Amino acid sequence: GSPAVFRLPFSAAAANGARQFSVCRLQSLPFQAAAKAGRPLYQEKIVNIEKPDPYAAPQSFETEAFVEVDIAPPLRRIGAYLLNTLFQILAMIPLIIAIASVVRQSQVLDIESPAFWELAIQQNSGLLLLGAVLLFALGIVQAALLTSRGQSLGKMICRLKVVKTDGSDAGFVGAVLLREIVFWVGIAIAGGIISALTGWQDNWLNNLAMLVCLVQLCVGNRRTIQDMLAGTVVIKLPPKY
């Protein structure tokens, strides 16, 4: 069937590699970014339609041109998430080795106990430090890419991009602070409070949020809770963009 698309004003949609599609699920977005020429138009909207006074000074008419771009397909967004998770696991390999070593040597200690981590630091401080540095470096790289390009490493590979629904770049606030930090920290705090009051498992709210986001990827305009919080939408870039 026809791909799900957003109707994007020409100025920023062209800059994101937009091309013309048949009408499917649409949302009009008043983009304001600078345009790249040579993209087909979908519709023109005359903003100033008042009849000009023949005796008044000449006035210009403000127009807005629209094109349509693909909304990111569900499988691509899931693939980008899995790739980012894979990069995190790779960065955690030194930590995994250090923890596994302590587990083998002292199977009586609980991994959440202070004694376990004291032993881990004594025996594998180098591996623990290396793992922490790799995770920190990965976080900085991901945040920098999302801020500057609207893409994580996974999204770059899957040809996806996060943009604001008003057409501007998502930037640090939209792509990192709201979509990642505020959302997941908020979920963790809310889940911890509810778990303390009810005795439920700590990660139940995190799992529920992921399930809701997964369902949202398959319906409507495919904007998840994170997108709604940050005012963003994830689009698919053309192959040569």
- Kindly give the confidence (pLDDT) of every residue in the chain, 241 residues in length, as a single tens digit, with 9 standing for 90 and above: 556 666 555 555 555 554 433 333 333 443 433 333 233 333 333 333 344 555 655 544 444 555 567 889 999 999 999 999 999 999 999 999 888 887 777 665 666 677 777 777 778 888 889 999 999 999 999 999 999 999 999 999 999 999 988 767 899 999 999 999 999 999 989 888 888 888 777 778 888 999 999 999 998 889 999 999 999 999 988 776 5
One-letter amino acid at 92 equals M
- Position 50 scores a pLDDT of 43
| C-alpha dihedral sign at 90, 94, 97, 100 | negative
Tokens of 79: 């693939």
Q: What contacts 24+ positions apart, CB below 8 Å, involve 221-225?
A: 221/4, 221/6, 221/25, 221/27, 221/71, 222/4, 222/71, 222/72, 222/74, 222/77, 225/183
**Contact between 29 and 231 (Cβ < 8 Å):** no
In angstroms, the CA 94 to CA 239 distance is 36
Residue 83 is encoded by which pair of tokens?
């790739």
Instruction: Name the 3-class secondary structure at 7.
Output: strand
Q: What is the dihedral of CA 226, 230, 233, 235, to 10 degrees?
A: -90
